[in-house]
Amino acid sequence: MQISELKSVIRRKRKLYRKSPARHVAENVLNRAFTSEKPNEKWCTDVIKLNYGHGKKAYLRAIIDLYDGSIVSYVFGHSNNNSLVFKTTKSAI
């Protein structure tokens, strides 16, 4: 290694994650019943982070109807914030 002038990279140790107690726990409304009897009775949402280019990110948030699995609404954004949630919900309604 000295002849080739190679050096090892020494990484810093990561700090340990400390669990903190949950301040607010939402009520379990669905109780794992992920089916619905009629349309627009139960909606679920999720967000997906998409990486592209050199360190760029895009977020896709979608609302799905549990009756037939159809996409009710979807919105793209460059940050995962409340604005993206409100746009998706407004589009669905």
How many other CB atoms are found less than 10 A from the CB of residue 63?
Answer: 20
Is the per-residue pLDDT at 72 higher than 90?
yes
For residues 19-47, give the mean pLDDT.
90
Is the per-residue pLDDT at 91 higher than 90?
yes
For residues 4-27, give the mean pLDDT.
83
Which of the 8 DSSP states describes residue 76?
E
Contacts of 44 (CB under 8 A, 6+ apart): 34, 63, 64, 66
Q: In this prediction, what percent of the chain has a pLDDT beyond 70? A: 100
